[in-house]
Structure 1
Amino acid sequence: MVRVGTRHLKSNFQFLILKFPKNGQLAFAFAGGILMGMTPAPINAWFLAWIALVPLWILVATPSLKSKLALGFAWGLGFHGLALSWIIGLHPLTWMGVPWLASLAIALFCWLFITIWGALLVALWAGSFKFLEKTSSLRSPNRLFWTLARVLVGTAIWCGLEGIWSSGPLWWTSLSYTQSPHNLLILHLGQLTGPSAATAAIVAVNGLLAESWLQKQLPATPLLLRPSTRLSVASFLSPAKIYLAIAATLLLSLHLIGFNLYSYPLLTLLKLR
């Protein structure tokens, strides 16, 4: 069996990221957050949620923990800052007897505080994801397994952090919120596990798309070669195409499941339970 060295793959990933200047990385991450921030009202570009996390996922391959935290924070500022910009509409509070400048300061403080609170969550995801990747067995010689495990762990960490975040009073901009109220098929996945189902779907699809792009930048090498007469599908398809196909299949399957749940009247579902 001939296997691809994971240390070589890691160095290639890091080389791809380090080609971006540091300020360019932060701007790229921030732009991805802005795309995600355009998904709720008033823009309602909910479909952007399925690609807006890709830039951060790509940049998360940087070897520096400090850089990962900064990139996650930049993405979070873009997303939460734009999605929560309606808070500035609290101003003016002069009808409550608050002076104009004090009213502006209150509105800006509320907006900045909640934005930073959400951005810290993304920064924590970026940092902890790297830590778990380094201390776990994700670097399997089998590149397909390694990548799918990476996506699974990244999705689980995000959902876990959102679960902790939801126990507080400022859980306003979950990724599941990006699909409301237009993508009813994905929203109906909430009947299964609550809003975390939509969040997991978005993170997983973005992760697979990002991994597909990363693999496409690497030298063309098969995932796994076995000296046998039975050739696997992986020996015919490039890794990038495999991850792209998995992402498309997952996206379609989740919408079909959501459509099935959407088709049942709520009373029927309650009786089945």
Structure 2
Amino acid sequence: MGDLRLQPILRGGLGGVLAGLAPASAGPLLMLPALALLWSVADQRRPAGVWGFLAVLVSHRWLLGLHPLTWMGVPALLSLPVAVSLWVLCATAAALLLLLWSVLARRLKTGDGSSWTPGAVLLLALVWAGVELALEGSPLFWIGVGGSVLPLDRPLAGLARWVGSGGLALVQLVWGWGLWQIWCQRGRRLRLWLSTFVLAHAVGA
């Protein structure tokens, strides 16, 4: 039983690490599996929070490069603790946001609690995209799901001409949900998923 209880935490943790690595390396190749893993635990607050915490902890590791902060007037002895605290604070804020998103996801599940309707998936993706857009003006917001497509996937990034970075986040979240559904249904609807993937790249190219 202990192993079964840990499974969602492990999925959330792995997904968060993949999401954190995606912006600086493989873009959608890592982000889409990361989002699929997020959808697998979207209605569970703790695993979703772990996903958010690790995603930002990994993606915002550049904050440690600000040390030493003496150039900002921070005493040398306090420089590293301040940099680490800022890093962990950003990750904690992400965990709280994912926890709130997870609460909404739980409320939007179908009556039998087995899944979400397409409308609920779209609403959850819209909420995510909206929050991401609102946070873009923050000095500590480096990059989100929408911006993770660069530099690897320029054709998909070109889709931003039509839908903006929020639209890119929404599209990837829906694709992530689709990947999770394909996994759960043993490959069904793979053709439909691939068709939307190719179409989006064609429009953005």
TM-score, normalising length: structure 2: 0.86
**Alignment correspondent of 1:38:** 21
Alignment partner, residue 58 of structure 1: 40
CA distance in 1 between counterparts of 2:117 and 2:196 reads 15
The aligned residue for residue 200 of structure 1 is: 170
Tell which deviates more after alignment, 30-39 or 182-191: 182-191
Tell me the equivalent position of 1:247. 193
Unpaired runs of 5+ in structure 2?
A: none
Secondary structure in 1 matching 2:22? coil
Task: Kindly state the Cα deviation for residue 150 of structure 1 after the two structures are TM-superposed.
Answer: 4.2
Offset at 1:109?
1.3
Q: 1:168/1:95 Cα in 2 relative to 1: closer, same or farther (>3 Å)?
A: closer
CA contact (8 A) 2:20 2:58 kept: yes
Aligned pairs for 1:7-156 within 5 A: 21-41=4-24, 44-46=25-27, 47-60=29-42, 68-95=44-71, 98-134=74-110, 147-156=117-126
| TM-fit CA distance, 1:187 | 1.4
CA 1:31–1:166 in structure 2 vs 1: closer, same or farther (change >3 Å)?
same
Provide closer, same or farther for how the CA distance between residues 181 and 161 of structure 1 changes in structure 2, counting only shifts above 3 A.
same
CA separation of 1:54 and 1:201: change in aligned 2, threshold 3 A: same
Separation of aligned partners in 1, 2:40 and 2:136: 27
**Aligned equivalents of 2:56, 2:202: Cα separation in 1:** 29
Q: Cα distance 1:165–1:134, how it changes in 2: closer, same or farther (>3 A)?
A: farther
**Does the C-alpha gap of structure 1 residues 24 and 97 become closer, same or farther in structure 2, counting only changes over 3 Å?**
same
CA shift for structure 1 position 147: 4.6
Number of residues of Structure 1 aligned to a counterpart in Structure 2: 203
More helix by share: 2
Q: Is the 8 A contact 2:125 2:170 kept in 1?
A: yes
2: CA distance between counterparts of 1:179 and 1:186? 7
Distance in 2, Cα, partners of 1:206 & 1:59? 12
User: Offset of 1:36 from its aligned partner?
Assistant: 1.0
Identity %: 28
Question: What secondary structure is seen at the aligned counterpart in 2 of 1:159?
Answer: helix
User: For residues 177 and 3 of structure 2, what CA distance do their matches in structure 1 show?
Assistant: 20
Rounded Cα–Cα distance in structure 2 between residues aligned with 1:101 and 1:26: 36
Is the CA contact (8 Å cut-off) linking 1:57 and 1:207 kept in structure 2?
yes
Find the aligned partners of 1:19 and 1:196 in 2 and give their Cα distance: 39
- 1:147, 1:211 within 8 Å by CA — same for their partners in 2? no
Following TM superposition, where does structure 1 have runs of at least 4 consecutive aligned residues deviating by more than 6 angstroms?
Answer: none
Structure 1 distance, partners of 2:2, 2:184, is 13
Measure how far apart 1:180 and its partner are.
Answer: 1.8
Q: Is the 8 A contact 1:58 1:211 kept in 2?
A: no
Q: After superposition, what is the alpha-carbon deviation per residue over 1:72-109, rounded to whole angstroms, capped at 9, x for unaligned?
A: 11000111110000000111124555333300011011
- Aligned mates of 2:195, 2:79 — CA distance in 1: 50
Rg comparison, structure with higher value: 1
